[in-house]
Amino acid sequence: MEKEYDRLKAYLYAKRWAFGRNPAYFNFDRLGGDCTNFISQCLFAGSGVMNYTPIFGWFYKNADDRTASWTGVEYLFRFLTENTGPGPFARPTDQSKLKIGDVIQLGRDNDDFYHSLLVCGFRRGYPLVAAHSMDAFLRPLYTYSYEKARFLHIVGVRLPDQPR
């Protein structure tokens, strides 16, 4: 079973926590950055479903009990684009098809992606984003310095199998 991704809840979470840290989650700013942790929190706010599959799932229980996809840029990309189990899933798209609640990842020409952002609006057709590790809300994407960007449209949310 699937359900719709609640883009408004993801947006409202980003608005609430873009310049703060939710005490329910560890702050990874001093351990490589908090950007993907924050984006995962936003995605969870909009989906309400984690995937508790060890190693390849997407979940956070605490700083020591989480998947790499919760906090790692490349791992989140792989989870969202390859997930066939519970949780949010996405497909690559182009910038013109982004919607509020979608994800942008910034990278280098060598395909080393290093920063995750949440789309929170548009101005003159350009995405406005929220982020941690350089905290931002409604920051224009064009103000970032990057070589490559990839755009992920959140298609929906798969629900865990229910016992019969």
pLDDT along the chain (164 residues), means of 10: 97 98 94 94 98 96 97 98 97 97 98 97 97 96 97 97 64
Domain ranges of the chain: 2-158
pLDDT tens sequence across 14-26: 999 999 999 999 9
User: CA angle, corner 58, sides to 159 and 147, nearest 5?
Assistant: 120
* Ramachandran angles phi, psi of 141, nearest 5°: -55, -35
CA dihedral 155, 65, 30, 18 (to 10 degrees): 40
Give the pLDDT score at 162.
Answer: 66
Give the pLDDT score at 163.
Answer: 57
pTM comes to: 0.96
The CATH classification number of 2-158 equals 3.90.1720
d(C-alpha 8, C-alpha 39), whole Å:
14
Q: Is 72 helix (H, G, I), strand (E, B) or coil?
A: coil
d(C-alpha 117, C-alpha 154), whole Å:
13
